[in-house]
């Protein structure tokens, strides 16, 4: 039974993501992908976006260490960074497993309390949700005139806009929302399971409340804002890789970024499928050709996913070398 459950955790998200991808690209002209990669794409901007993708994870590791210190848990910087790299890479296979894995890495290599680490992860998620909610509100309010102007110019009513959303599009959207709810319920059950004993409750609570004891709240918020700024730049700079997105501007990139961020909450590997659908839909709304919008989403997501995988591979090697060196020094 446990084997079947573990297998489903891996195969079901992949199947869902794969089904959405198949639906999106079932009539896609694959020659355009080869042409874009060879001659139409400006790779300089893609390379320029990579440091921001890496820096976002480094900031996350720095912020995590800051949350752990008030509880007497001193994690090494290298271990923390590798734990974050591994958490994202592992989530490419099993969604959401990375949050548990990174706490396990700190436990194994630096002796940090697993439950306290999990408590700080909960705190991180609350802070991140607060920041993305604020950003989303600002973006929506800033784009209201654009939406109204679009309706006035085209003569399209709000009901008409929904009417133009295809049945398959509605099904993907509804399925994504259902999966987000199911994921939330599963995570809540896991949390309840972990909090059955007093000692575990106490350590988790210490982790969650560690934000109150942080030395240097200014630095904490600098890291928090830095994470999301780097995430955005990692995405925004890719707009300049393609002629059909380079002129869309900052506002469009913000809308696509926010919508894509919520799409990633759907439990598929790195948001594959829902993220493509969400970003393409936004680009089409801003008059990008549907094939070009799908091509942008496919190239950007694939390359950025490969970067996450490579960082995970680096973390495995780095942790292995660190352990080997430690064994030699202590022998």
CA atoms of 207 and 107, how far apart (whole Å)? 14
Specify if 32 maps to a domain: no
Q: Which domain holds residue 149?
A: 41-320
Q: Evaluate whether residue 186 is within a structural domain.
A: yes
State percent of the chain over pLDDT 70.
Answer: 66
Give the whole-angstrom CA distance, residue 107 versus residue 105. Answer: 5
pTM across the whole model: 0.78
Neighbours of 7 (CB within 10 A): 10
Banded model confidence at residue 327, pLDDT cuts 50, 70, 90 = low
Cα separation, 284 vs 134, whole angstroms = 25
Total structural domains within the chain: 1
Does a structural domain hold residue 181? yes
The verdict on residue 330 lying in a domain is no
Q: Which of 215-224, 226-235, 249-258, 321-330 has the lowest mean pLDDT?
A: 321-330
Give per-residue pLDDT as tens, 260-315. 888 777 666 666 777 888 888 888 888 888 888 888 998 999 999 999 999 999 99
pLDDT of residue 41: 87
Is residue 282 within 8 A of residue 252, CB to CB? The reply is: yes
Residue 326 has pLDDT above 70, yes or no: no
Measured over the CA atoms of residue 292, residue 297, residue 298 and residue 303, the dihedral's sign is positive
The closest alpha carbon to 22, from 246, 277, 291, belongs to 277
Mean pLDDT of the chain: 77
| Residue 84 in domain | yes
- Tell me, yes or no, whether 23 lies in a domain: no
70 burial (CB, 10 Å; 0-12 / 13-18 / 19+) is middle
Within 10 A of 60 (CB to CB), how many other CB atoms are there? 26
CB atoms within 10 A of CB 199: 8
At residue 229, does pLDDT exceed 80? yes
Give me the mean pLDDT over the 227-254 stretch.
92
Give the span between the Cα atoms of 197 and 169, in whole angstroms: 45
CB 236 within 8 A of CB 149: no
Highest mean pLDDT among 219-223, 248-252, 261-265: 219-223
**Per-residue pLDDT tens digits for 149-199:** 544 543 444 454 445 455 555 555 565 556 555 555 555 555 454 444 444
Nearest-angstrom CA–CA distance, 331 and 326: 9
Q: What is the mean predicted confidence (pLDDT) over 51-76?
A: 91
- Residue 83 counted as domain residue: yes
Supply the pLDDT for residue 205.
Answer: 58
Given pLDDT bands bounded at 50, 70 and 90, which one contains residue 113?
Answer: confident
Q: What is the pLDDT of residue 277?
A: 82
């Amino acid at each position: 039974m446990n084997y079947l459950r573990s297998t489903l955790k891996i195969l079901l998200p992949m199947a869902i993501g794969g089904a959405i991808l198949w639906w999106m690209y079932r009539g896609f002209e694959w020659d355009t992908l080869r042409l874009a990669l060879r001659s139409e794409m400006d790779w300089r901007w893609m390379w320029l976006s990579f440091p921001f993708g890496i820096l976002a994870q480094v900031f996350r590791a720095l912020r995590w260490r800051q949350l752990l210190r008030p509880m007497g848990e001193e994690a090494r910087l290298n271990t923390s960074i590798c734990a974050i790299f591994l958490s994202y890479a592992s989530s490419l296979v099993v969604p959401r497993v990375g949050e548990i894995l990174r706490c396990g890495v700190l436990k194994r290599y630096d002796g940090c309390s697993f439950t306290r680490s999990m408590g700080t992860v909960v705190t991180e998620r609350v802070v991140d949700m607060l920041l993305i909610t604020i950003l989303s509100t600002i973006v929506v309010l800033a784009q209201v005139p654009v939406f109204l102007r679009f309706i006035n110019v085209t003569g399209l009513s709000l009901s008409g806009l929904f009417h133009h959303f295809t049945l398959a599009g509605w099904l993907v959207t509804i399925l994504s929302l259902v999966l987000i709810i199911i994921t939330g319920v599963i995570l809540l059950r896991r949390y309840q399971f972990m909090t059955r004993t007093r000692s575990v409750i106490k350590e988790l609570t210490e982790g969650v409340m560690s934000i109150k004891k942080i030395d240097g709240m200014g630095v904490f918020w600098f890291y928090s804002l830095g994470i999301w700024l780097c995430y955005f730049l990692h995405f925004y700079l890719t707009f300049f890789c393609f002629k059909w997105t380079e002129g869309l501007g900052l506002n469009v990139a913000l809308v696509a970024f926010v919508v894509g961020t919520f799409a990633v909450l759907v439990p598929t590997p790195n948001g594959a499928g829902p993220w493509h659908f969400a970003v393409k839909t936004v680009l089409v709304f801003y008059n990008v050709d549907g094939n070009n919008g799908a091509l942008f989403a496919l190239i950007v997501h694939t390359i950025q996913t490969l970067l996450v995988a490579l960082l995970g591979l680096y973390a495995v090697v780095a942790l292995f070398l660190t352990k080997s060196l430690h064994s030699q020094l202590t022998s």
